């Protein structure tokens, strides 16, 4: 690089740099370039801006196309999900039942099929957005909601509710306990971050919280008073949308929405964290508040999802990772697309397991873990190669 003409605009830089390329590609702009030989940097900026706008325009088109494709796939999978089930109703009967709610088809459509399809969307959106925000916060593409201990604590809350037979007293008590468990773990992490714990300390604290919750869950299992409660707990922990009820949708959708809004409110801070914590703080970002909002948002969304569907792992890790190449690497751009992508993944997976095993032996959480874990290893290997 020549050290000369550093005060000048884009005059006389080495060939092959951006301005020169623009001139070659767009002869019309070359005239403008020649005028800048006097060093008029305004003109020069305009030419470079054109090149950048081309890059940015292409990125925007790619993102828009991806969004459209994801919406289309989601719509199709959602419809297929409504049509799948053990009862033999024709598609037209199901759709009629969905709209008028009359007869057996109406009950099946409204009480069974719609909650299951809707819950897949909500659970996927919650996990995808949580994963995207956490990866931004920890600046690590391997992060997912599970590392905060939120999933395990939500599971513990639910198991406690089942253990004490509270679910019999009122169906709403299970989600209340699960979300409370998630918020408890988030509260611990939040207090730690308020006291100045860094990202790595938070991850390790999340691991500790998760193992404590797992131990307490195991304790509840071994003290279970009857085998039915134990079976209930084990089944619930494996993660499934099989027994989705309308009530599950009613509580998980608003909680997930609230969590999503909290995550979105942290977007700006998450972007600034790309530069590291010191630089982000020097840009006026309250890093502790960003951590608090992300951790609480993840607890609300993931807690609600776990309460409704049990532990569904790896969705939060895989989805943002796949979408990054279509939406770019800025954390803020990935939160909403990851919600959409998560909804697609969980809905498609839930349809797939019903097509493969119509009797319901395949559970959603088991399948995502079986596919997600190898993906995780592949990711680690790829990162090692890149590093």
Partner 1 sequence: MSAAIVYEGVSAAYGPRTVLDGVSASFARGAVTGIVGPNGAGKTTLLRIALGLMAPTGGRVSILDRPLAEWSRDALARALAYLPQGSDAHWPVLSRELVALGRLPHRAAFAPVSAEDGRAIDAALERCDALGFAGRRMDELSAGERARVLFARALATQAPVLLADEPAAYLDPAHQLRLMNLLREEAARGSAVAVTLHDLSLASRHCDEIVVLSAGRSAAQGTPAAALSDATLADVFGIAAERGPGGTVSAIRQL
Contact residues: partner 1, CB under 8 A: 1, 3, 6-7, 9-10, 13, 17-19, 41, 44-45, 48-49, 51-52, 55-56, 139, 265, 267-268, 271-276, 278-279, 281-286, 328-331, 386
Q: Where are the alpha helices (DSSP H) in the chain?
A: 18-25, 27-35, 41-83, 91-100, 103-107, 114-138, 150-163, 166-169, 173-194, 199-222, 227-238, 246-265, 267-272, 277-282, 287-309, 315-327, 331-356, 364-386
Choice between 97 and 331, CB closer to partner 1: 331
Choice between 3 and 31, CB closer to partner 1: 3
37: Cβ–Cβ under 8 A, 6 or more apart, which residues?
A: 11
Choice between 17 and 100, CB closer to partner 1: 17
Least distance to partner 1, CB of residue 312, Å: 26
Task: Assess contact for 189 and 202: CB atoms under 8 A.
Answer: yes
262: Cβ–Cβ under 8 A, 6 or more apart, which residues?
A: 293, 294, 296, 297, 300
Least distance to partner 1, CB of residue 353, Å: 34
Least distance to partner 1, CB of residue 104, Å: 48
Closest CA to 239 of 334, 316, 337: 316
Choice between 47 and 121, CB closer to partner 1: 47
Least distance to partner 1, CB of residue 144, Å: 17
Choice between 116 and 293, CB closer to partner 1: 293
Choice between 13 and 110, CB closer to partner 1: 13
Least distance to partner 1, CB of residue 282, Å: 4
Least distance to partner 1, CB of residue 258, Å: 18
Q: How far apart are the first and last CA of the chain?
A: 27
Rounded to the nearest angstrom, the gap between the alpha carbon of residue 108 and the centroid of all alpha carbons in its chain is 30
Least distance to partner 1, CB of residue 278, Å: 4
In degrees, rounded to 5, the angle at the alpha carbon of residue 85 between the alpha carbons of residues 81 and 87 is 145
Q: What are phi and psi of 361, to 5 degrees?
A: -80, -25
Choice between 331 and 372, CB closer to partner 1: 331
């Amino acid at each position: 690089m020549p050290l000369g003409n550093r005060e000048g605009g884009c005059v006389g830089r080495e060939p092959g740099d951006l301005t020169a390329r623009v001139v070659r590609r767009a002869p019309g702009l070359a005239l403008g370039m020649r005028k800048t030989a006097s060093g008029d940097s305004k003109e020069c900026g305009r030419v470079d801006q054109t090149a950048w706008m081309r890059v940015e325009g292409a990125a925007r088109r790619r993102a828009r196309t991806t969004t459209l494709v994801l919406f289309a796939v989601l719509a199709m999978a959602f419809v297929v999900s409504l049509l799948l089930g053990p009862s033999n109703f024709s598609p037209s009967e199901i759709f009629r039942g969905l709209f008028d709610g009359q007869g057996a088809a109406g009950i099946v459509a409204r009480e069974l099929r719609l909650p299951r399809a809707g819950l897949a969307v909500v659970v996927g959106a919650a996990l995808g957005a949580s994963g995207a925000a956490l990866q931004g916060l920890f600046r690590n593409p391997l992060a997912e909601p599970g590392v905060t201990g939120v999933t395990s604590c939500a599971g513990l809350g639910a198991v406690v509710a089942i253990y004490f037979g509270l679910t019999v007293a009122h169906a709403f008590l299970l989600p209340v306990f699960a979300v409370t468990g998630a918020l408890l773990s988030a509260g611990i992490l939040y207090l730690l971050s308020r006291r100045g714990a860094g990202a790595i300390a938070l991850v390790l604290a999340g691991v500790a919280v998760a193992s404590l919750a797992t131990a307490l869950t195991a304790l509840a299992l071994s003290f279970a008073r009857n085998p039915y409660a134990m079976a209930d707990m084990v089944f619930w922990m494996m993660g499934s949308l099989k027994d989705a009820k309308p009530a599950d949708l009613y509580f998980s959708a608003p909680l997930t929405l609230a969590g999503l809004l909290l995550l979105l409110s942290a977007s700006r801070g998450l972007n600034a964290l790309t530069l590291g914590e010191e630089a982000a703080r020097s840009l006026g970002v309250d890093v502790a508040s960003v951590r608090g909002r992300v951790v609480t948002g993840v607890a609300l969304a993931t807690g609600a999802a776990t309460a409704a569907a049990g532990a569904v792992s790896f969705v939060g890790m895989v989805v943002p990772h796949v979408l990054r190449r279509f939406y770019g690497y800025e954390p803020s751009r990935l939160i909403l697309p990851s919600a959409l992508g998560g909804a697609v993944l969980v809905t498609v997976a839930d349809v797939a397991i019903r097509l493969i095993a119509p009797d319901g032996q395949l559970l959603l959480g088991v399948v995502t873990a079986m596919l997600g874990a190898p993906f995780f290893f592949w990711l680690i290997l790829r990162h090692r190669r890149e590093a």
